[in-house]
Amino acid sequence: MKKINLSAYHPILDIQGHIIFANNGNVVLGYQVGNPEIYSLSEKDFEDIHGSWFQAFKSLPVSTVIHKQDIYRKSHYTANKLPNDTFLQKATHDYFKGRGYLQHSCYLFFVLPHNKALNAPKFVNPFRKVEKGIHKQMDHTVQEFIASVNDAVSFVNNSRRVSLVPLKEKEILELTNTYFNGFNEGFDTDIQLKKSNIEIGENHFDVLAINSELCFGDVVQSSKTNDKFTSDDFIFHQGFIDGLGLNLNENHIVNQIIYLDDKHKWRKLLDKKIEELKKSSNFGTQNKVILKKIEDIVAKINEDDSSRIIRGHLNIVFWDKDEAQLERIASKIKTEFKELDIVPYYPKGEERKNYFLNSYCCHASNFSNEDLYVTDLKHALCLYINNTNYQSDATGVIFNDRQHNIPVLKDVWDEKKKRIKARNFAIFAPTGEGKSFLANNILRQYFESDVRLVVIDLGGSYDKFAKLYPDKHIILRYEQGKNLGINPFYISDVNDLTPERLEDLGIFLLELLASGKSTTKAEEVAVKKVLRYYYQKGVNDTHSLENLYRFVDAKKDSLLETLHIQEQHFNIYDFLHILSEYVDDGLYSFLFNVSEDQTYKIEDKRLIVFELDEVKDNKEILSVMLKLIKSAIQRTIWRNKAEKGIILFDEFAKQLKFGNVLESVEFYYQAIRKQNGAIGIILQSINQLPNNSTSASILENTQVIYSLRNEKGYAELKNRLNLSSHDLNQLKSIRNNLTGDRKYTEMFIKIGKESNIFRLEVPPEVFAAYLTDGQENEAIMAIYNETNNMETAIGRFLQESQ
């Protein structure tokens, strides 16, 4: 057969759901395989997956054929999942659109062969119709087979590492047509079977295979060292034949076919073969090698009751539009095999055609004994590729994968709480590693997906990002001797005084008075009584701290008696003494010296930045500022529980120098649970968080972790966040590339229990928007001051710097 026209020789008689009734009498059950992301697995993970495949397959009926097919195709990133509305979104969309990458699809087929003896002759016409005894419907044999396969599939799915999803009829037909159409797009074509190679449309195909025990070296295992990321102090693992997967970066298919044979039949056959080899008069070197291999296999069978003898076949089909490239690809594949101490077989002519046509699921039972190696099932399963491309979520923040730098969406909000219970996050990175850059990237994307942001910043890192949205942001800067315009006691209407509002004001006052001491329930009730009385009886001018102070001072002789409060629960003289610092000409009176509350200014802003740079070294002012900010957040942002919101503490360590700040922030962590919100903190090192119960509570409620490169190591991060040893290996494998066309930083991201290394590569416009210091930043700000338009400023800066 020199030419095959699929419409004349279609291999499928009928499809019912995911069950294929093939032309040749075989019944095939097809599944799409969902694999973990590449680089996310540890040595133990590889062992566990290998173990679950073995447990799932070992009880399948004798004569079952299992065909795993991994298809890798060179593709171009379409960018249609990326938002494309704002200035920075458009820049990102256009920058990545069309970027090349290797797309991976993985399928698993269970075949009930028409010929149960599995003794195909050397060459079989795979398209030949078999009428006699063909399974055309669900007879008893087929139903039993389906039940066994269902058990195996359930076992794999319950392992939660790998998922098997039944294929749909449309997917099966599409896969069939794509395969026999030679992965050509836009036209149908015939298969031309030439002596030099197989030609289908514009593509030329070739094959390399493992078809005999002699191909293998001494060691086959479930994983091996990944040389690219392994260093002196840690070992990074990859699957045993991962070098033939995504890392090959060529159009190719890895087919692995397993024939489950009768163990006892094989034991007899092998014993007989050993006998023959021992008697052999011309006892050459080759015979000795074969004898040793067969003796090893028999020993394994006899030792291990759970062993399952199989015959197996592995081949790699590869293709290119340019015939001359096939030799180069073959050479790459051989190099990979050499690394594994495996010598592949290179089929020619009829053999090549046979391997190509029978690497289609319905024909997988057609391999003859000469095309198959004999081994144990555990050995064969080491040759499975158990990972795939980075997986994008339906929505999320855009990062880049580690393989091709293409965008990956990661849902770090997790609306349905599948991965995390609390969406609070922490960013760890030393100075100069780009933590503000990363925070800008995360916050900007949240902001553009309608999340409200409050940033408490000590360094002016969010100016440029904010100025891209002129009507939607407000920056409130603290300046020496001035207030922020926030009056927590202001109410425009008596109906504003809800029980929640009184609670919040009570906490505000107690924090102001307590200076870090814990308060009793009795003290809390007493303060709320005083506040309520003040709002009922106080002179109805603008309510403020000063006004409250005067009210309590005026009523100090009768207040406790009127409200039935004992002195130990509300000490009037302490109250007046401590608050005197904040009224009249007290040292900090300017903080509250505000008649009308101006928090209404922030009510409709979706990006609110409090810049407290000038105050970062003053414990008292910073502490009061954080309390004022908290009251403003509660009265504006947290009023609408349906609205998503994030509070970010940048340069958190500088705020943490003061004890009561930690308690104040812990309050946010507890309160945010009731809101549709998250809290983020940015630290140079986890050691900046004191090792106490308050910090432990904060870390416990932080379930999204970002870490950039840290030359000093990650031991403390591992200990305090209970990271796994593979998490630590991932952290140690971080490598940045800040030269060349594609500059990127790498970061570790852990969402709940899932972790991997991601990259951050951004287009020039986004890079310019996130810059926080240096000459380039000053140049952009100079243009902005002249034009008052950040988009124009960035555009002009990029033009001028080309």
Any idea what the Cα angle at residue 433 is, between residues 427 and 435, rounded to 5°?
30
Digit-coded pLDDT (tens) for 523-570: 889 999 999 998 888 666 678 888 899 999 998 899 888 889 998 889
Q: What is the DSSP letter of 183?
A: T
CA 222 centroid distance within chain? 23
pLDDT at position 225: 85
pLDDT band at 485 (very low <50, low <70, confident <90, very high): confident
Strands, E assignment, 23-131: 27-34, 65-76, 100-112
Q: Which of 17, 309, 313 is nearest to 150 (CA)?
A: 17
For residue 14, what are the β-bridge partners? 21
| pLDDT at 657 > cutoff 70 | no
Q: What value, to the nearest 5°, has the Cα angle with vertex 162 and ends 49 and 257?
A: 75
Categorize the per-residue pLDDT at 10 as very low, low, confident or very high, splitting at 50, 70 and 90: confident
pLDDT at 588: 87
Query: Percent of the chain beyond pLDDT 70?
Result: 92
Contact 60/66 with Cβ under 8 angstroms? yes
Distances from the Cα of 269 to the Cαs of 60, 274, 298, 524, 786, in angstroms? Answer: 22, 9, 10, 86, 88
Among 204-218, 647-661, 690-704, 712-726, the least confident range:
647-661
Q: pLDDT for 70-121, tens place per residue?
A: 999 999 999 998 999 999 999 999 999 999 999 999 999 999 998 776 766 6
Least confident of 115-124, 526-535, 649-658, 662-671: 115-124
The proportion of the chain whose per-residue pLDDT surpasses 90, expressed as a percent, equals 49
Which distant-in-sequence residues (6+ apart) come within 8 Å of 759 by Cβ?
399, 400, 401, 402, 405, 744, 745, 746, 747
What is the spatial distance between Cα 684 and Cα 379, in angstroms, rounded to a whole number?
47
Best CA proximity match to 63, nearest among 308, 354, 296, 378: 308
Token digits of residue 529: 């009584």
Q: What is the mean pLDDT of the chain?
A: 87
Count CA within 13 A, CB hemisphere, residue 699.
20
Q: How would residue 136 be classed by pLDDT, with cut points 50, 70 and 90? A: low
Token pair for 16: 């019912």
Instruction: Quote the Cα angle for 167-171-172, to 5°.
Output: 80
Handedness of CA 531, 534, 540, 544 (dihedral sign): negative
**CA 308, CA 313: separation in Å to the nearest integer?**
16
What's the pLDDT tens digit per position in 296-345? Answer: 777 776 776 667 888 999 999 999 999 999 999 999 999 999 999 999 99
Q: pLDDT digit string (tens) for 30-75? A: 999 999 999 999 999 999 999 999 999 999 999 999 999 999 999 9
pLDDT at residue 1, as a whole number: 44
167: its two tokens: 């294929």
Indicate the helix (H) or strand (E) that contains 648.
strand 645-649
* Residue 681: partners with Cβ closer than 8 Å, 6 or more residues away: 425, 426, 427, 648, 649, 652, 665, 698, 702
| pLDDT class of 284 with cuts at 50, 70, 90 | low
Residue 659 has pLDDT above 90, yes or no: no
Interval 375-390 mean pLDDT: 93
Q: What CA–CA distance (Å, rounded) separates 246 from 252? A: 10
Q: How confident is the model at residue 782 (pLDDT cuts 50, 70, 90)?
A: very high
Biggest alpha carbon distance in the chain? 120
What are the C-alpha distances in Å from 70 to residues 454, 658, 756?
46, 57, 22
CA dihedral sign, ordered 146, 151, 152, 158: positive
pLDDT greater than 60 at residue 133: no
